[in-house]
Amino acid sequence: MEHATGHGDILARLEATIAQRRLGDPAASYVAKLNAKGIAKIAQKVGEEGTETVIAALTGDRAELVGEAADLIFHLMVLLSAKDVPLAEVLAELQRREGISGIAEKASRSE
């Protein structure tokens, strides 16, 4: 994958697509169908894809892990969209933490 059509472009376009489909016809769009079912159902999908990513990492091949990780990110973005949280806010939080490096980063986690 070239950097020219890089990470940000794909995620930004996916976020726009999800926002556009969100209030569409549940019979014509998976995103609209999930939103019609409500937040609990969308959250459930995030939990399920988290479990499937765990299983793919432990027992699956590379293609399975790639597919499950894509499913997890996709459903997380559907959830964020349904809660009106831009992905940029989540990435800004990741960036903020990235500045807290090494052992300091570790100490700032609630473990």
Q: Which residues contact 64 (CB under 8 A, 6 or more apart)?
A: 56
Alpha carbon dihedral 20, 25, 30, 36, in 10-degree steps, equals 100
Binding residues for a second copy, rule CB under 8 A, total 68
Examine residue 39 and tell whether it contacts a second copy (CB under 8 A): yes
CB of 16 to a second copy, least distance (A): 10
Examine residue 19 and tell whether it contacts a second copy (CB under 8 A): no
Among 19, 35, 81, 93, binds a second copy (CB under 8 A): 93
Give yes or no for a contact between 20 and 79, defined as CB atoms under 8 angstroms apart. Answer: no
Q: Is 60 exposed, middle or buried (0-12, 13-18, 19+ CB in 10 A)?
A: middle
Instruction: List contacts with a second copy (CB under 8 A).
Output: 1, 3, 6-14, 17, 21, 27-30, 33, 39-40, 42-44, 46-55, 57-60, 62, 65-67, 69-70, 72-74, 76, 79-80, 83, 85, 87-95, 97-98, 101-103, 105-106, 109
